[in-house]
Amino acid sequence: MLYAISDIHLSYPGNRDEWQKLKPHLDDGLILCGDVGEKAEHLDLAFSVAKSNFKEVWWCPGNHELYSMPLKTAARGEDKYNECVEIARRHGVHTPEDPFVQWDEVIVAPIFTLYDYSFRPLHLTSTAAAIAWAEETDTVAADEALLFPDPHPSREAWCTSLVASTAAKLESTIAASPDIPLILVNHWPLRQDLVYIPRIPRFSIWCGTTLTEDWHTRFNAAVVISGHLHVPRTDWRDGVRFEEVSLGYPREWNEVKDAGKDVNDLLRIIWPGPERPQEPVATQWRRWG
């Protein structure tokens, strides 16, 4: 089987303790869909535990991996990302910078696209206007202080570059293997209509880019996996299954622990999965399983 989880946030002691309860699945694969943590030691712990319990492990970065902490001395932008990639490789973990790997009847494709503030109302025609709109409700992502785009002039420019290079890699993949569907793995949702965060709805501007809206059909996806929202769910679009697989901060999954569940119950089964529905299916909100 192929499992996935994201947003394990190992900067929190409770989440670190929970992660070390992971049980062996020595014939199975695990996808870590971003926001493992901010520091090298968080990635080392995440990858070492995952690799000791799973046959293969994939990772893509979230915004927290890209944070420059401590602010004055840490690597920034692409340098910080490349540091994370090297840590993953030392543990034998597949990254967006490596060749995509076939697993069973699918190809697992971890990608990295960032965001460009385009998940916003249509009347807001600039990044500055979008950020001001979010600030009206006291919503500001920590990214604005901690996530740098170096050497790109802006996060939007970095996103544009990433989208172009990722699309080229995906195009070459499906050209080489047209009959093998992909598991697309990205920390940020690929579609704006899947962003639902009722407590902080204007946080949407830090949640993706409209440039990827059609990637699930354009790139022959069987499943699209994301995190970031801390709102676990399953959706279907155009016959493609979308899985939001966040764990989240300790306070956000206390009810799961109160129900006698642990991190093993929160791993989402990605492949094999349910058959494609013949009729429209409503969103399945998930607490575990």
- What does the pLDDT look like over 25-38, one tens digit per residue? 999 999 999 999 99
Domain 2-285 indexed as CATH 3.40.50.720: no
pLDDT, tens digit (0-9, with 9 covering 90-100), for 164-181: 999 999 999 999 999 999
Under a CB-based contact definition with an 8 Å cutoff, are residues 276 and 35 in contact? no
Given a cut of 90, is residue 288 above it in pLDDT? no
Amino acid at the residue 236: W
pLDDT of residue 72: 86
99 vs 161: CA distance, rounded Å: 19
pLDDT of residue 120: 98
9 vs 7: CA distance, rounded Å: 5
Tokens representing 279 are 């009729």
pLDDT of residue 157: 98
Query: In 10 A of CB 168, how many CB atoms?
Result: 10
100 vs 244: CA distance, rounded Å: 21
Q: How many CA atoms lie within 13 A of 98 on its CB side?
A: 19
DSSP state of 11: T
Partners of 225 in the β-ladder? 185, 243
Q: Where are the domains of the chain?
A: 2-285
234 vs 142: CA distance, rounded Å: 27
